[in-house]
Amino acid sequence: MNVLDRFLQYVKFDTQSDELTNLTPSTPGQMIFARHLYDQLVEMGLEDVTLDDNGYLMATLPANTSRTDVPTIGFIAHLDTSPDMSGHHVAPRIVTAYDGNDIILNADSNTVLSPREFPELLHYKGQDLVVTDGTTLLGADDKAGIAEIISAVAYLQAHPEIEHGKIRIAFNPDEEIGQGAHKFDVEQFGADWAYTMDGGEIGEIEYENFNAAVARVTFIGRNVHPGYAKHKMINSIRIANQFAIMLPRWETPEHTEDYEGFYHLCSIEGSVEKTVLTYIIRDHDRDRFERRKKELEHLTRKINHEFPDCATLDIKDQYYNMREKIEPVMHIIDVAIKAMEEVGVTPKVVPIRGGTDGAQLSFKGLPCPNIFAGGLNFHGRYEYVPVNSMVKAMETIVAICRIVAAK
């Protein structure tokens, strides 16, 4: 079974996560998929195959070298897909030798994947692409990563002439809701360092990510019959709107790129009596990140000065920039870059404008940068993955294992 066959099989599993269940894994489909992978890994003859009650699957490919000083390295991907769009009944389609024109995903809904809106498509002209049917996401985030890791292990098994040290692999639940590393047992995993195969376009390697927090601002109002409301009604929706427009207009996701941080208003739930604004706060720079949180505190005080005891703010940090944990061990980045170059991929070191399990794992003692899995337009109906990108990701894993053993 090659990497494409594995990927097409894996995306059929519905593994959307759900932050509202307070369970691990947050949805039953993730455990169903994990059990399927468990059986595959056992059938492949891997050692130490374990699946715990929380859906964390781990396995070992034993070393085939006589050297005893080769580090143990790991490769990690996540089981879940984003709750942003349905992953039920995913029906992938292969576009052979993409010609550079529009791809009609779904004629009934006039859903079209076009290089006019997604110019990166033209980078893959002439290649085979896996696309959606326009009604679901695809699941390349991160089932492409799972397919690449297992395919790389299978390749190493089939080519014992490639020397490698002990290789650990792991597949975890609930990355998409920020909980993938929460119950990850770093000590049990036992790797000196690892790579998450969870990046985007071919060649990407990432060891910088956002510092991240979630903020919920709750506004309490007073409802009175609108015909008799003068000097009595307190409309929490209007106050919430006043708060929202006090934040910098240009510091939002749609106006920022590269290392620029933002405030992102994710949801508004409200009535006259009560309104809740939910924000995510992101910045690569730790000092600017802390200042953003202070700004929300400042604005909450301003609102409460005008409308006493109306607003309450709850902020929770989610993860931090892994750069401070990777810089002392930059050789693991050098290894990944060398591996990409050896398999004909141009490395692109880029900051993650988001998060990754690797960030949390790095702060738990497992340095864990992120490598491309090859997909684009994650979390929606326009998601696609070039087949060649998955192949090159698999080859990069194999090359990393070979380089580490050679050193």
Task: Please list the active-site residues.
Answer: 80, 175
Q: Which two tokens stand for residue 284?
A: 């690569």
Q: Find the farthest-apart pair of alpha carbons in the chain and give their distance in angstroms, rounded.
A: 86
Q: Closest Cα to residue 376, out of 208, 116, 196, 141?
A: 141
Q: What is the CA radius of gyration of the chain?
A: 23
Burial string for 315-352 (b: 16+ CB within 10 Å, else e) reads beebbbbbbebbeeeeebbebbbebbeebebebbebbb
Q: Which two tokens stand for residue 367?
A: 């340095």
Quote the CA–CA distance of 50 and 271 in Å, as a whole number.
48
Q: Are 112 and 57 in contact (CB under 8 A)?
A: no
Establish whether the linkage from the previous residue to 308 is cis, with ω within 30° of 0.
no
| DSSP conformational letter for 407 | -
Q: Closest Cα to residue 237, out of 295, 285, 169, 307?
A: 307
- Point out which residues pair with 143 in neighbouring strands: none
Burial string for 370-383 (b: 16+ CB within 10 Å, else e) reads bbbbbbbbbeebbb
What angle in degrees, to the nearest 10, is found between the helix axes of 331-342 and 387-406? 120
Q: How many helices (H) and strands (E) does the chain have?
A: 10, 17
Q: Can you point out the beta strands (E) in 289-383?
A: 311-319, 348-349, 370-372
